[in-house]
Amino acid sequence: MATVSYYLRSETSNSKIQIQLSISSKLKLRTTTNLSINYKDWSKDTQFPKQNNPENKKLATILRELSNYILNQYNKDFEKGVIFNSQWLKDNLNNHFKRIDTKVDDSVLLIYLKNYIEFKESISEYTECTIRKLKNLQERFKQYEKKKKKTFLIKDIDSKTLIDFRNFLIVDCNMMETTATRFIKNLKTVIFDAENNNKQINPQVRGFSAGTTNTEHKVFLSFEELEKIKEVQTINKELETAKDWLIIGCYLGQRASDLLRMNKKMIYTKTDAEGNSYRFIEITQQKTGKEVVIPLHDEVETILKKYDGDFPPRFANTQDSNTTLFNKHLKKVCEIAGIHDIVKGKVYNEHKKKYEIVEIEKCYLVSSHVCRRSFATNFYGNKMFTTPQLMAISGHKTETMFLQYIGKTKDDWAMQTAKTFKELKELKTKTS
């Protein structure tokens, strides 16, 4: 009798769950489900998610439904004399999650993209933001096909097509170049996923560079500006709350989606070998599923004391409303604090219905993302901190991704280098 069981591929905060169909002692088929779980939430005894929170209960239901589906398909195909192998298991798993529509040709890019989105929606680790970006890509490529009067297969997408689609986004859709570049990068991700599922792709895609989304128009708050903000006398409770969250955020380096759901239950104390006690906050990032541990800076501790050891109150009951109100109040706080330096930044032009790079007072460009960017910029390059240390807090997987958050301009870097030269000269003078 065939049975289904599950295993973890690794012991990490984002461990992939493997499915195994045991047909006999000699025939066992295994593949990944593309579902993930924190290994701490996995029971080694039951080989199933622990029923300790709603997400795990939902995941357990998904796995049970998958088991029933695979066993039903096995019984049907067994009677037909089908040869069972790993590809059979992969195909049925994908069919169950509607990743592949067997009734249509998913070699067609938009059909594959539709199935790709549906599959991602079925997995809880993917945020609404990620799904929204994929659906925007889907809509824009539909418009592109309509203009070209052509249905594109996955294998049709070559360098020329990628360049043409990027130009379409900039000219016809009034996108900024950096935004268009993100669309191309997302499209390449989908194409590579298709390749992993045995779809033919044009080899030009692999070597195609979409360009960089990294620009010098990145807004961050320096330590000096944060001091100004600390001294702000706000006019109401909401602005005071926004000010406190802003200070906390710039020393914790997290996205607003993670920052604004922090609470004192996430805080713990650890003692080193010398008997010194330190306080940390541990949180699983919503976007990546990565577990990060962050030491609490004195500036954070000061604000927590203000709220009897807890974090400031939220602005609303939903994540989106929380972030929206936070963004709104931040601009006012920075305006009151006198953050009026003229900088370049992206502003939406209501008349032209598009974003433009303009020179404007910094306070009007500040958003919740300034927390994460300020943390990266202020601490990167400090000789007391290594890049891996900072990446462990921010949750970035690669140094390249981390460096995209650095808001210093070429002039800032030049000045930092000049100061280092001066320090070296002074050190040489002292030792000579």
- Rounded to an integer, the average pLDDT of 16-33 is 87
- Backbone φ/ψ region at 81: left (φ over 0), alpha (ψ -120 to 50), beta: left
Q: To which H or E segment does residue 18 belong?
A: strand 15-22
Given this model, what pLDDT does residue 117 score? 87
Cα(6)–Cα(14) distance, rounded to whole angstroms?
A: 15
The CA-atom distances, in angstroms, between 301 and each of 136, 267, 278 are: 41, 11, 11
* Helices 237-252, 370-379: inter-axial angle, 10-degree rounding: 40
> Would you say 419 and 427 are in contact if contact means Cβ atoms under 8 Å apart?
no
pLDDT band at 302 (very low <50, low <70, confident <90, very high): very high
What is the Cα–Cα distance from 304 to 132, expressed in whole angstroms? 35
Report the alpha-carbon distance of residue 278 to residue 267 in Å, rounded. 10
- 37-70 pLDDT, tens digit per residue, is 988 999 988 889 998 888 889 999 999 999 999 9
Q: Assess whether pLDDT exceeds 50 at residue 102.
A: no
* Number of Cβ within a 10 Å radius of residue 317: 7
| Residue 407 banded pLDDT, cuts 50, 70, 90 | low
Residues 130, 72: Cα–Cα separation, whole Å: 33
Q: DSSP 3-state assignment of 211?
A: coil
Q: Average of pLDDT values for 208-226?
A: 75
The H or E element spanning position 84 is none
Q: List Cβ neighbours of 344 (8 Å cut-off, separation of 6 or more).
A: 216, 217, 357, 358, 359, 360
Q: Are 6 and 17 in contact (CB under 8 A)?
A: yes
211-231 average pLDDT score: 79
Grouping H, G, I as helix, E, B as strand and the rest as coil, residue 356 is: strand
Per-residue pLDDT tens digits for 308-322: 999 999 998 888 888
Contacts of 185 (CB under 8 A, 6+ apart): 210, 213
Phi and psi angles of residue 294, each rounded to the nearest 5 degrees, phi first: -125, 125
Closest CA to 370 of 326, 306, 313, 311: 326
* Run of H or E including 258: helix 256-259
Asked whether 202 and 188 are in contact (CB, 8 A), the reply is no
119-159 pLDDT, tens per residue? Answer: 777 665 556 778 888 999 999 999 999 988 888 999 999 98
CB count in 10 Å sphere of residue 409: 14
Residue 238 CB coordination number (10 Å): 17
- Beta bridge partner(s), residue 271: 277
For residues 153-182, average pLDDT: 87
pLDDT above 90 as % of the chain:
39
pLDDT tens digit string along 362-404?
999 999 989 999 998 888 877 788 888 888 888 877 776 677 6
Give me the chain's average pLDDT, please.
Answer: 85
CA distance 301 to 279: 9
What domains can be seen in the chain, in order of their start residue?
3-96 (no CATH), 109-207 (1.10.150), 223-386 (1.10.443)
Answer whether 314's CB lies under 8 Å from 322's CB: yes
| pLDDT value of position 103 | 45
Sorted by sequence, the CB contacts under 8 Å of residue 266 that are 6+ apart come out as: 281, 282, 283
**Where do the H-state alpha helices sit in 50-158?**
54-80, 86-96, 109-121, 128-148
